[in-house]
A and B are shown apart, each in its own frame.
Chain A
Amino acid sequence: MLEVENLIAGYGGADVLRGIGLEVKPGEIVAVLGANGVGKTTLNRALSGLIKPRAGTIRFLGQEIAGLKASAIVAAGLIHVPEGRRIFPNMSVRDNLVLGSYRRGKPAREANLERMFELFPRLRERMGQAAGTLSGGEQQMLAIGRGLMGEPKLLILDEPSLGLSPLLVEEMFALIARIAGEGLAVLLVEQNVVQSLELAARAYVLENGRIVVEGASSQIAADPALKHAYLGL
């Protein structure tokens, strides 16, 4: 459903991504792994329209989306839950979620909201509270919830386990497995290599703006030399 070819993107005069190709199939969880500064976040920003790629194609559900504005890409069903959550701290939990369904009509919105509260009971309890007062884990739940409110077909999760306690990290990965189990494709961008490889069917390893390894997660997990070279394990 997502096919990326020869994607080049960056900031100012410098290219961060230097020819990326990757693919996500319907219902699949795909991991993008790599150390800090290899271009993972830039890749996400280019896919979701926050920056314009310099070259290459991004096809999503058969439509070319490279260079479209972010709101149009959200409308097409590709939704990026950013690193650092980027929730609206001064607004209520409910308003944060509802804004995720900004483009949908009222009935769809209410139904989506009910679904989120079932998925995240904690958010129902804190519905009227300002989002900025939530704990880190709850804020991450809220960010994912806001993404799901937009009825994505492919969800990009950027470092969803960052800054969470080990227990919450477990919970987060269980949650990702659960939403993917409902047929949603997930592109998981993570530094948590071990758990990402357990969850994802396939993985890409990014280094210096290029994909250096790709394959089934089990293969990558079973190759100690590879893990040592690129993933610091």
Chain B
Amino acid sequence: MFAPDIILAAVLNGLMTGSVYALIALGLTLVYGVLHIINFAHGATLTAAMFAVYVAHAVFKLDPYIALFIVTPLFFGLGYGVQRFVIGPASHGEDRNILLVTLGLSILIENAMLAIFRSDTRSIDVPYAFSSIDLGFTFLALPRVLAFGVALLVALLLGLLLTRTDTGKAIRAVAREKTGAALAGIDVAHIYAVTFGLGAACVAIAACLLMPTFYVTPRAGNAFVLVAFTIVVLGGMGSIPGALLGALFIGVVESLCGLFFGESLGQIGIFLIFILVLLVRPTGLFGARA
């Protein structure tokens, strides 16, 4: 009922959306893989990062792609500090307490955003917002193509960090065998904080990629994190390749559902898949056996 061109264009658009989902899901799955808890503050962190990009543009006239180099390290530092000095001490060595502390933090951050920025929808104006690349059969929005490239690059770098560097190996060691890691001399509290920092850095990058084409409200992050959570379950909790492939897949599903059922029903396929995965394969595509 649709020409192949249109379907192909929808798939490409889905992949580009999925790449930004991937960044958000990577942060979520990384924290889950290491600390074994869902970071409930992930959505609020994304919102905060989007506001940071907004402020960088509105006040300091910084382009989001330049702001990326400031916002990302800033959020890494914030994530590190919050885990090390707030969440860690407040959880008293019980990982499950971390979950509650992150829930409290998310409420705190959201309300702080609401107090500072009000509930208005805000967006930024960049000259290239409507630039596009002509593929002959369709046009791709330039900011979304850039987002796709940057997201894949970041996923690759994160993969290299985890497999090739000392810190990455320590993160994987803590994820799998916390006691063994502590006895090998790895500072578990530090690794927890680094992991949280990386999770926050991932959403900070996502925020920079989103802002040229998206808007921000004090609850903007939550919709993304809900999708990201579906992706993490689909890909397998804690799995990095699962998050990446799951995100691209979910992006395409959303785009195709939007095409066939109408834009407002685009996300219906995502949640149908979520329910199916929970019914049929609760460990997800790349999930470890329980």
Residues of A within 8 A of B (CB): 48-50, 69-71, 74-75, 79-82, 85-91, 95, 98-100, 102-103, 146-147, 150
B180 and A71: CB pair below 8 A? no
Can you give 8 A-B contacts (C-beta < 8 A)? Answer: A71-B182, A71-B185, A74-B184, A86-B177, A86-B179, A89-B176, A89-B177, A99-B170
- In the assembled complex, B95 has its CB within 8 A of some CB on chain A: no
B185 and A50: CB pair below 8 A? no
B173 and A100: CB pair below 8 A? no
B176 and A75: CB pair below 8 A? no
What sequence of 0s and 1s flags, for each residue 165-189 of chain B, a beta carbon within 8 Å of any chain A beta carbon? 0100110110011011111111111
CB nearest neighbor in A for B166: A102
Interface centre among B182, B188, B190 (most CB of A within 10 A): B182
CB nearest neighbor in B for A85: B180
- Taking a contact as CB atoms closer than 8 A, the residue among A82, A88, A95, A100 that contacts B185 in the complex is A100
Q: Which residues does chain A contribute within 8 Å of B166, judged by CB atoms?
A: 102
Instruction: Give Cα A75 to B172, complex, Å.
Output: 21
B183 and A79: CB pair below 8 A? yes
- B283 CB to closest chain A CB, in angstroms? 15
Given A89-B177, A91-B172, A100-B184, 7 more contacts at CB 8 Å? Answer: A48-B183, A50-B179, A74-B185, A80-B183, A82-B179, A86-B177, A88-B172
A82 and B184: CB pair below 8 A? no
Size class of the B contact interface (CB-based, 8 Å): 10 to 19
Q: Which residues does chain B contribute within 8 Å of A89, judged by CB atoms?
A: 176-177
- Taking a contact as CB atoms closer than 8 A, the residue among A69, A75, A99, A103 that contacts B169 in the complex is A99
CB nearest neighbor in B for A49: B182
Q: Which residues does chain A contribute within 8 Å of B183, judged by CB atoms?
A: 48, 50, 70, 74, 79-82, 86, 147
Q: Which residues does chain B contribute within 8 Å of A85, judged by CB atoms?
A: 180
Instruction: Give Cα A56 to B173, complex, Å.
Output: 32
Q: Which residues does chain A contribute within 8 Å of B169, judged by CB atoms?
A: 91, 95, 98-99
Instruction: Give Cα A50 to B93, complex, Å.
Output: 11
Q: Which residues does chain A contribute within 8 Å of B179, judged by CB atoms?
A: 50, 82, 86
A103 and B185: CB pair below 8 A? yes
Q: Which residues does chain A contribute within 8 Å of B173, judged by CB atoms?
A: 88, 91, 99
Q: Which residues does chain A contribute within 8 Å of B184, judged by CB atoms?
A: 74, 99-100, 102, 146, 150
CB nearest neighbor in A for B189: A69
Instruction: Give Cα A81 to B180, complex, Å.
Output: 8
- Taking a contact as CB atoms closer than 8 A, the residue among B170, B172, B176, B189 that contacts A102 in the complex is B170
Contacts A99-B169, A99-B170, A102-B170; A70 near B182 (Cβ below 8 A): yes
